[in-house]
Chain A
Amino acid sequence: MGDFIDLFLNAEIMAKSWPLLLKGLGITAKLCAAVIGLGLAGGLMLSLGALSPRAWLKWPAIAFIDLFRAIPPLVLLVFVFSGLPFAGLDLTPFAAVVVAFFLNNSAYYAEVFRAGIQSVAKGQAEAARATGLSQAQAMVHVILPQAVRNVLPDLLSNTVEVVKLTSLASVVSLAELLYSANMARSVTYNSSPLVLAALIYLAILWPLVRLISRYQRGLAAH
């Protein structure tokens, strides 16, 4: 028990690594902001494409979504970071992470938006068009607000996945939260910094995970 506390819950080492982890957390936050923002925008565009009646929009969008849902994000990241330089495209670790996870996440967000848009009754679009709204206006003012509300738990759960995903950036030596914690571990020969990082992730994500469960229960009750 003493060993366990010393190796995993060492307060002294946690305190010492705290500033480093906090810095890492800052980078994690920046990554999240970039990937979530771009992912939501890209996902929305892709979902509209995938639902378009025009074949030249629809099939490329669906192919993009399925392609990037099938490749593990870490493989994508390694490919972008270590593979693209061979083609003369040298990205900084931060840019590589954002590009790779944007590709991955816009595909996931697109699936959520698509399900949401399809969940809105067809009569809603017809009613909107019948009152003289354009197709775009109907989408923005009538369909999307309902679609987003219907899939809010899925949007939230995908966003939780993005935050967890950013921990993979440590593999390309981007000094985000997990990388900083792992650095501290290798310097101190003690796992407490990793546990501290885990606690930080939990503190941020547990409330969101709870909220998702509550939402899903609420929907199931209908």
Chain B
Amino acid sequence: MRFLETFFNGAVMAKYLPDLLSAIVTTLWLSAVILVLGLSLGLALACLRSLGRWYLTLPIVAFADIGRALPPLVVILIFYFGLPGLGISLSGPAVLILVLSGVLAAFAEEIFWAGLTAVPKGQWEAGRATGLSFARTLFEIALPQAIRLGIPPLVNRALAITKMTALGSVIGVKEILSVSSSAQSFSGSATPLTMAALAYLAIFLPAVLLSRLLERRYSWAV
């Protein structure tokens, strides 16, 4: 009974529900912006890399490697606390969007590129032999197959990175975790944290189940 009182207190829930709802909206739009920016940047980088010019490949690979190797929180702190010293002050949401879409782009570039290299050479040859240009062959033949191969890992990675919007709580973004943490210290009850966990489950559990479905659907051999 004390357990319910501590973690599922109805009065506390009712009190903080409006705050939490607006925090959910914040988490959702941040996630959407990060997904769109990160995936499109990653795709664009993979396409540029397929041109095979070293002066494009080198910086793209460096970006993808660093983006995958650095803990995002380190970069978030550097941007949030360091940049104002140079006269560049970015808001918490701006830093979060910048860093997380960059990280997603780094992973997405690698996944799209791995997909492109997995498309058999004969597909390129068939396209070029029928008079299609390099760009046409890339966009009509190679990329659709590469994206299809990349969908399961992309969904998993996109999921992992949108979950990182919770890192916004460290730099004052009013998303789910930060709102429920402060509610927890105000109310002296663990209930807001339970609400946060439930809110995240409501958002991400369908995504996890979807990723299972996609993995089964797209696990075909070329």
Q: Is A136 an interface residue (CB 8 A)?
A: no
In contact, B78 and A198 (Cβ under 8 angstroms): yes
CA distance A136 to B181 in the complex (A): 46
In contact, A82 and B193 (Cβ under 8 angstroms): yes
Residues of B within 8 A of A87 (CB): 3, 6-7, 190
Dominant secondary structure of chain B at its interface with chain A? helix
Q: Is B28 an interface residue (CB 8 A)?
A: no
- CB nearest to B194 among chain A residues: A83
Residues of A within 8 A of B169 (CB): 74, 171
- The residue that B85 contacts in the complex, of A3, A164, A205, with Cβ under 8 A, is A3
How far, in Å, is A161 (CB) from chain B's closest CB?
8
Q: Is B75 an interface residue (CB 8 A)?
A: yes
Annotate A82-105 by CB proximity to B: 1 below 8 A, 0 otherwise: 111011000000000000000000
In contact, B164 and A70 (Cβ under 8 angstroms): no
Segment 182-214 of B: residues with Cβ below 8 Å from A: 184, 189-190, 193-194, 196-197, 200-201, 204-205, 207-209, 212
- The residue that B69 contacts in the complex, of A69, A79, A86, A209, with Cβ under 8 A, is A209
Q: Is A187 an interface residue (CB 8 A)?
A: no
In contact, A167 and B71 (Cβ under 8 angstroms): yes
How far, in Å, is A201 (CB) from chain B's closest CB?
6
Residues of A within 8 A of B117 (CB): 217, 220-221
CA distance A217 to B69 in the complex (A): 18
Dominant secondary structure of chain A at its interface with chain B? helix
Known: A191-B81, A191-B82, A210-B65. A79 touches B197 (CB 8 A): yes
- The residue that B193 contacts in the complex, of A7, A83, A194, with Cβ under 8 A, is A83
Segment 39-58 of B: residues with Cβ below 8 Å from A: none
Segment 165-218 of A: residues with Cβ below 8 Å from B: 165, 167-168, 170-171, 178, 181-182, 185, 190-191, 194-195, 197-198, 201-202, 205-206, 208-210, 213, 216-217
Segment 101-115 of B: residues with Cβ below 8 Å from A: 110, 114
Q: Is B70 an interface residue (CB 8 A)?
A: yes
- The residue that A194 contacts in the complex, of B72, B77, B181, B200, with Cβ under 8 A, is B77
How far, in Å, is A10 (CB) from chain B's closest CB?
11
Q: Is A126 an interface residue (CB 8 A)?
A: no
CA distance A140 to B82 in the complex (A): 51
Residues of B within 8 A of A209 (CB): 65, 68-69
Residues of A within 8 A of B164 (CB): 72, 74
Residues of A within 8 A of B71 (CB): 163-165, 167, 178, 201
- CB nearest to A119 among chain B residues: B219
Ranked nearest first, the 8 interchain pairs of A and B with the lowest CB-CB distance are A191-B82, A167-B71, A205-B69, A164-B71, A72-B163, A70-B204, A220-B118, A86-B190
Q: List chain A positions with a Cβ less than 8 A from chain B.
A: 3-4, 7-8, 66-67, 69-76, 78-79, 82-84, 86-87, 160-161, 163-165, 167-168, 170-171, 178, 181-182, 185, 190-191, 194-195, 197-198, 201-202, 205-206, 208-210, 213, 216-217, 220-221
